[in-house]
Amino acid sequence: MTQADAELAGAGAPARGDHPRGGQPGQPGGGQPGASTRERILDVALDLFTDQGFDGTSMREIAERLNISKPAIYYHFASKEEILMALHMRLHGIGKAALARLTGQTVTLQTWGSLLNELLDQMLAQRRIFLMHQRNQAALEKLHRKDHDDDHDDLQQRLRRLLADPSLPLSDRVRMACSLGAAFGGLLMAGNAFDNVTSAELSALIRDVVSDVVADRGAGRDFRP
């Protein structure tokens, strides 16, 4: 057993060969007990990238926060850039899960409103990633990888096909598009403007806006939970 393997075993990681590098994007460990070593690396990197920037963080610092060595980090990630990409892919996981829910069902403003409520729950749980994005835009723009670009294009195309579906009333499709923009605008485009606002308060305020956009007041529909 190598030193890296011993450290990984001590950190709660599976044996080599049982945990292929790459894992499943979109499945954050959240710092909870039992989270995989890979996800705990991501959680620590997320904090460091957010607080002191991608360029200002070293692999050594990430390892020291986890009390393991750099070789143990490299077991899971070939580079710091790969860690940043994995964090970015957590957001892709949210979008893919949301669109998958709509597969095979008739899309209405009611189902869309329900979907947005669930999406907001997931986005707020990953709120720190949005802040990390805002503070590390230059580093993120330098990352170009085919599987990421393909995944990003697939998400965009699936969403655009849904919004272009002629079986849905145009007014509903416009509401759907604008409400999605409102949800993402409050978390991503706003950057750190709402840093001092609690997630509970921000959640309520964003849902009010989204509900105003999506809801058909004439039909008495309101999509707040």
List, for residues 126-184, the tens digit of each pLDDT value: 888 888 988 898 998 888 766 667 777 777 888 888 889 999 999 999 999 999 888 88
Full-model pTM: 0.68
Q: Are residues 95 and 129 in the same domain?
A: yes
Q: Can you give the pLDDT at residue 35? A: 62
Q: Are residues 16 and 116 in the same domain?
A: no
Instruction: Transcribe 160-187 into DSSP letters.
Output: HHHHT-TTS-HHHHHHHHHHHHHHHIII
Q: What percent of the chain has pLDDT over 90?
A: 32
Q: Are residues 37 and 108 in the same domain?
A: no
The domain containing residue 10 runs over which residues?
A: 3-78
Read off the tokens for 8: 């990984």
Q: Can you give the pLDDT at residue 16? A: 35
Domain final residue, candidates 50, 78, 106: 78
Domain final residue, candidates 24, 56, 78: 78
Q: Are residues 98 and 199 in the same domain?
A: yes
Domain final residue, candidates 56, 78, 100: 78
Q: Are residues 66 and 107 in the same domain?
A: no
Contact 140, 133 (CB under 8 A): yes
- Say if 224 falls within a structural domain: no
